[in-house]
Amino acid sequence: MNRNRQFNLVLEQCQNVNLQKLKLDTLLMIINHLLKEYKKEDIKKTSSLTVDIAPDDLDFLDENICSLHKYLDNNIITTNTLYYIFSNKNESVLMHNIANSLEPMKVYYKYLTSLFSTKLSSGSNWIPELFALSLLYSYKKEHGKSLSSYPFLDDFPLEKIIDIYNKNNLELKKRISQHEKINVWKVKTVLDEMYNSSDFLTKKYLEYNFKVNKRVSKSRNKKQRKKN
């Protein structure tokens, strides 16, 4: 992560505060944070969550997950940067003004993380990069939201990536079905839970709106009237 690049991103956000963009960028911030956990070796490992993935598919996943993480690192404010800003907001007038401008992002971030805690229990089995990709897929494909402000994301091969995981999930269901002697459609995997959770989070997040502190606005107006 380039600190100068992060600072420039912060200044760009503050020059023209746009709640819709801040909302999208906060979701992308969470997605980027999840992608930090990704390791190609984890996909290779045989576990209760996955079955063997074809080498070509594995290379495709690895290349695109890494490129997505790199892109977000260079184009989105990170969780570390956000934490630094609000931890040091009283250090200078500039930091105070930056923190005020990014207050919506802080609120969005807290709301998203609270949703996470309700859907993902501590120590549960899950795949961080798949959850990240599922959030992005749900935002764009399931809820029809635009990513046109980020051409790289708009052209990112989300569908093909999700198809690989879906194919993997179906094979996993077949194995469980044979082992437990039940119908495939009755089998619910951890991957299914992750898909459902990501869709739930995206829906709730899109319904959530940042509320402007009207009390502060009124007090400012009163002060301005007194001056006049």
The answer to whether residue 197 scores a pLDDT higher than 70 is: yes
pLDDT for 217 equals: 44
pLDDT for 38 equals: 83
Q: Determine whether 139 is exposed, middle or buried from the number of CB atoms within 10 Å of its CB (0-12, 13-18, 19+).
A: buried
pLDDT digits (tens, 9 = 90+) for 36-73: 888 766 665 545 556 667 889 989 999 999 999 999 99
pLDDT for 34 equals: 92
pLDDT for 194 equals: 85
The answer to whether residue 115 scores a pLDDT higher than 70 is: yes
- For 43-67, b/e burial (b = at least 16 CB within 10 A) is beeeeebbeebeeebeebbbebbee
The answer to whether residue 216 scores a pLDDT higher than 60 is: no
Q: Determine whether 107 is exposed, middle or buried from the number of CB atoms within 10 Å of its CB (0-12, 13-18, 19+).
A: middle
pLDDT digits (tens, 9 = 90+) for 128-172: 898 999 999 999 999 999 999 999 999 999 999 999 999 988 988
Q: Find the mean pLDDT for residues 5-9.
A: 92
